[in-house]
Amino acid sequence: MAFKSLGKFFGAVPALAKMLPAAASLLLLVLALARPAAAEPVNIVGFGDSLMAGYELAPGEGFTEKLEAALRAQGHDVTVANAGVSGDTTSGGLSRLDWSVPEDTDLVILELGANDMLRGMDPATTERNLDEIISRLKERDIGILLIGMYAAPNLGADYQQAFNSLYPRLSEKYDLPLVPFFLEGVVGDASLQLADGMHPNAAGIDVMVQNVLPAVEPLVQGEKPNM
């Protein structure tokens, strides 16, 4: 009897061997399905003008690149795309919005209006354009960090008041986090500016990144900044 049982066992070995690869594949499939999916990086788009584009700066010195590096240094899995266009106005930004902000975008850092101001455009027009940009991004369920700008003093007190107030108003209307002034700490400091006295150099970009980081980091974590 013992030899018969042993013979049956060895006779079944070839069949078992054929089943092992299929069983192993099934086990691997079950393990793969049970494993949590890897989190996708947070996709951020810097949407703005020359201040966002990195005017006359070397590769790696622009705002979006340095912001991505700063966020990654804090342990955040992010990509920060540069959708800045030198000389762009709010009207230009509105016209290129759809193709400049990809479908997989999670957050837009919206920085436009400085060139409107430098050209003396009616602040009401600037506000309408920004309002439309914000509305369209919200329709796409994309988060927004609004970046403000201050009007130059030589444009007069009335223009300054009208222009400077539009960013807080939009922030309140849409409940958006706001960085009031993108060039805070940079304007008036020649050591942080290019020779034109308007655009930041690489050191100025470092200051701007540190100004914006406290507002961006909570948004990356799915929280609202305490600004």
**Active-site residues: which are they?**
50, 196, 199
| Buried-exposed string 25-45: b where 16+ CB fall within 10 A, e elsewhere | eeeeeeeeeeeeeeeeebbbb
Report the alpha-carbon angle 217-220-226, nearest 5. 45
Contact 198, 183 (CB under 8 A): no
Record the tokens describing residue 88, joined without a space. 């762009």
Greatest alpha-carbon pair distance for the chain in Å reads 109
Residue whose pair of structure tokens reads 């705002």 in the numeric block: 63
Record the tokens describing residue 222, joined without a space. 């799915």
Report the alpha-carbon angle 111-140-60, nearest 5. 40
Q: 10 Å Cβ neighbour count for 51?
A: 27
Report the alpha-carbon angle 138-139-144, nearest 5. 15
